[in-house]
Amino acid sequence: MEILFYHPTFDVAQWAALLQRHLPQARLRAWEPGDNAPADYALVWHPPYEMLRGRTHLKAIFVLGAGVDSLLSRLDAHPDLLPPDVPLCRMEDTGMAAQMQEYAVSQVLHWFRRFDDYAALQREAKWQPLEEYRHADFTIGVLGAGVLGGQVAQSLHSWGFPVRCWSRSRKAYPGIESFAGTHELAAFLRGTRVLINLLPNTPETVGIINGGLLAALEDNAYVLNLARGVHLVEEDLLAALDSGKIKGAMLDVFHQEPLPAESPLWRHPRVRLTPHVAAVTRPEEAAAFIAQSISRIERGETPQNQVDVARGY
């Protein structure tokens, strides 16, 4: 079994060793320009066009990350980038859900316990106990309720917060109010105090967190973006922060990465940011998941993590 590998930073030797633990018959090789030798599978992240072009005999392509938008966004320029009828698969979890839960819960609790306000008071050397927030007044809305969004929503619900989610189709998570479709977005936003974004990157979701959406949130709301930078209109967020409509924002993803030094997001007093580290691919867990998926395909079964290219996830 021949497996092609391309990732700009991952260690191919580490991945080869990990995969062979689960698939002893597999041989993983790093793709190099000019490599047109046959392969059964491809593991990729931001692959060159030349790597996948014409590889119609692949049994599947696995994207080494939570989203496949980086690959799908290039289809407009290269319609033949993805070989016809070759399944495109994404990571279902591989440890990312736990990381997202840690990130989201820690930040929501930071805001709920008013640590942002106490940090501001500390800078002024002010000793001033503040009135506590109530759980009932701290409704959390999760945009996107797939594998990651659903688990983040359920984790926050266990802390006693009212939690709601919004997605393309209605969900049935216990104790979580579900909204679906564009006609229910306004109802989802009404009363939301903390907005957490975990949407997939599709043409319909680009720029969805804009001035109009932010204005529909509760006053003094918070924004946590863990999905993609293209979802957020950064200028609109800055305007909402400056007007006082939005009290604070925590951002892990940006339109341009690395975030340029001249971006006002670096210096805004009510913005905190991290360099796209909310959930990273963990090789040990990802290799086990990929091996399991390959075994399913080899048995003639459909992989459960196959992407609907038309929908984008």
Question: For this structure, is 90 an active site residue?
Answer: no
Question: For this structure, is 190 an active site residue?
Answer: no
pTM > 0.85: yes
133 and 264 in one domain?
Answer: yes
Total structural domains in the chain? 2
Question: For residues 284 and 49, what is the distance between their CA atoms, to the nearest angstrom?
Answer: 27
Helices vs strands, H then E, count in the chain: 10, 12
Choosing from 228, 255, 268, 311, the catalytic residue is 228
CB distance 56 to 84 below 8 Å: yes
302: helix, strand or coil:
coil
269 and 120 in one domain?
Answer: yes
Choosing from 157, 276, 282, 296, the catalytic residue is 276
116 and 83 in one domain?
Answer: no
Q: Two tokens at 186?
A: 């306004």
DSSP character string of 152-189 = HHHHHHTTT--EEEEESS----TT-EEEESGGGHHHHH
Instruction: Write out the residue range of the structural domain in which residue 293 sits.
Output: 2-92+281-311
Provide the pLDDT for residue 36: 93
178 and 219 in one domain?
Answer: yes
* CATH code for the domain in which residue 239 is found: 3.40.50.720
Tens of each residue's pLDDT in the chain, 313 residues: 999 999 999 999 999 999 999 999 999 999 999 999 999 999 999 899 999 988 999 999 999 977 788 788 778 788 888 888 899 998 866 788 999 999 999 999 999 999 999 999 999 999 999 999 999 999 999 999 988 999 999 999 999 999 999 999 999 999 999 999 999 999 999 999 999 999 999 889 999 999 999 999 999 999 999 999 999 999 999 999 999 999 999 999 999 999 999 999 999 999 999 999 999 888 999 999 999 999 999 999 988 788 888 787 7
87 and 100 in one domain?
Answer: no
105 and 251 in one domain?
Answer: yes
299 and 251 in one domain?
Answer: no
Q: Using DSSP bridges, classify how beta strands 41-44 and 2-6 pair: parallel, antiparallel or unpaired.
A: parallel
187 and 107 in one domain?
Answer: yes
